[in-house]
Structure 1
């Protein structure tokens, strides 16, 4: 028995001293990349080196390949206009163009990045040493009142979509607006059914609490929040409260924690003007882009957009994990869409998150789930329901 005790002690020591996986060895995904806003910039390449001092981009292939991020969902974001036939038509034309732009940009680098339509595609691409590109749709406003257009965007490769953005629309109430439908509209309920039928994951970020509740009840597949923070950290309607996080987890869903709204957004008139330029950065000359970056960085130094930093972010992340459990947490920082904080300014900081999670006691198995496994599980659930 004494010999057995020594043998077991030796095994325990060996296990404790076993090397832990470095960050680059995990399949690391992010569920909300606004990076396509940069894809049409004149004189700019997604593959090139971009100095943060002279370029606002937070995600590029050079940094992705350095091991911080293996891929994620590149967003088709469409600014919302009037809820009218012309508004819908204009938005649809824009969304189609943005979808084509994503395809054209990724198509320039076939040996380095590949399009993923399924969870199996993502794993295959990762195994082949390629970066992974899913497509998502932030705000379903562009499809107007024609739900058959969801199939068009599914055929275009979209696998994740939310009904609403910052204002109420034809489908649902937004977290950023005064209730109109008290949740989903009648058309919005049909939108949920069609999303399930097609096997597209429902994104509840930006939805009001009532919209979230109703989608959680109606959907036959788990919900994903592609870029939301915990309301525990800051009481803002864009964030999800602990009770809803638990309900999300109970139904198999996941919250991909963001870096935004851990404080009030310091949207001064000067910052708003810069954001307007930023949203149309592809229309600026290289010289105008450089000037925008200079002004943005100068404003960051004197009037930061967020009163939060990496430490506050990690406190929120750890709280959300405690509430939801490791099977229901993922990451969607809102890169290139307003995300990023001091200490976690772009994707090169992601290994720091892994280090902090390890220090909190989370294992390789836990980290693999949170960095990519939970996302692919939800994607697979949607695929399975469609079949």
Structure 2
């Protein structure tokens, strides 16, 4: 009789547990320190009439990240990119690019400094954790495309002094350091100067970012680096066969050396880059040069085009399938998030940072623990950042 009573009691208890409502996804997400490793939001910082401390919406503005949306608990911070378009490999090209990169770095600093009670710069993992405890948002800095360094690797130290802690050698075209994933190989991976770049990045304690690099350049950076490396915004090639994406074998190799791949929303399909969209993209990249009326017109035209045809033939379900596969292949210790916000990222169902709690909810439903989620959202990135100096 006692055994039956205990069994019935256990069944009753298990029924209570089973029917207990799950924690609200937004609340669960807000409890975690959440970072994105690639934010192109700095291109909005110089816009006339645009405020980083506002809460914009895609219906009336093209930005995907601002303090208003970040503070909702969707995103605690990340790496604000100093992106420089690839130009000629000439002294004049290098000088112009360096001036641009310095100005972009200064613009990020001024914008972050304008809101000291809401967001602050971070240089270390400990800084990020402290700011999270203080209830402030977190601003790391990164370099997307080391082209502005020219052939002077001492400039890496200058940008480290400016607060940069993550840098990639190359972008969409080959440069003096490496072959791009989306160009015809010139160097067979890294150039001789690119190999020196890896050594200097290691010496300075800066994280190497392999996104945009060719497969051969990735292999060589992985082999040469004394510290774990990162891919700040990349997708899996098994989800869509594109050279910009990483294959599963290389993800396993990255994980074996302690690195991590931060999952993006881009190249989950072919990019629908029609002439009209290419024109709008060119205007978008220089949106800060437009007056408010010009910005509003660009937003209107962008939204009208999106209503007629999508840039990506992918959605939230496509993203989640790829993310879950990446975790399966690489393990929870080697996956992070870098959606490419404000740089071409965003797809149906995950089109700005307010959608991020949905990712947490889906990962939790897939059986991942809170500790797993904390690794994916920030722990893995902070571990790699910390490893550069140990």
Cα distance in 1 for partners of 2:10, 2:253 equals 41
SS across alignment from 2:98: helix
> Which position in structure 2 is the counterpart of 1:196?
202
User: Equivalents in 2 of 1:24, 1:12: separation in Å?
Assistant: 28
Secondary structure in 1 matching 2:160: helix
Deviation at 1:383, TM superposition (A): 2.5
1:132 is paired with a residue whose SS is strand
Q: Does structure 1 residue 38 correspond to structure 2 residue 44?
A: yes
Q: Which residue of 1 aligns with 2:95?
A: 89
2:284 corresponds to: 278
The residue number in structure 1 matching 2:379 is 373
Q: Secondary structure at the match of 2:388?
A: helix
Select which of 237, 241, 261 maps to 2:243. 237
The equivalent of 1:112 in structure 2 is 118
CA distance 1:7–1:26, change in 2 (3 Å)? farther
- TM-score where L is the length of structure 1: 0.96
1:257 aligns with 2:263: yes
**Other-structure match for 1:267:** 273
What's the RMSD between the two structures over aligned residues? Answer: 1.9
Q: 1:50 to 1:10 in 2, by over 3 A?
A: same
Q: How far apart are 1:50 and its partner, in Å? A: 1.3
What's the CA shift for 1:54? 1.2
Aligned counterpart, 2:360: 354
Distance 1:147 1:224 in 2: 20
**SS at 2:282's partner residue?**
helix
Q: Deviations over 1:23-64 (max 9, x none)?
A: 111100000000000000001110012121110000000000
Alignment of 1:1-387 (within 5 A): 22-384=28-390
Q: Deviation above 2 Å: which 4+ runs of structure 1?
A: 1-21
CA distance 1:325–1:7, change in 2 (3 Å): farther
Q: In 2 relative to 1, CA 31–10 (structure 1 residues): closer, same or farther, beyond 3 Å?
A: farther
Distance 1:211 1:51 in 2: 38
Q: Secondary structure at 1:135's aligned position in 2?
A: strand
The Cα offsets for residues 255-283 of structure 1, whole Å up to 9 and x where unpaired, read as: 00000000110111100000010000000
Q: For residues 173-232 of structure 1, what are the alpha-carbon distances to aligned partners after superposition, in whole Å with 9 as ceiling and x for unaligned? A: 000100000000000000000000000000000000000000000000111000000011
Once residues 249 and 6 of structure 1 are traced to their aligned partners in structure 2, the CA distance between those partners, rounded to angstroms, is: 47
Secondary structure in 2 matching 1:216: helix
C-alpha distance in 2 between matches for 1:191 and 1:7: 65
**Structure 1's 298 and 19: CA in aligned 2 closer, same or farther, altered over 3 A?**
closer
Tell me the number of residue pairs that the alignment of Structure 1 and Structure 2 aligns.
384
Query: Any idea what SS the aligned residue of 2:36 has?
Result: strand
CA distance in 1, matches of 2:229, 2:323: 19
Gaps of at least 5 residues in structure 1 are none
Structure 1 position 301, deviation (Å): 1.2
Q: Matched residues in 2 for 1:314 and 1:18: separation?
A: 23
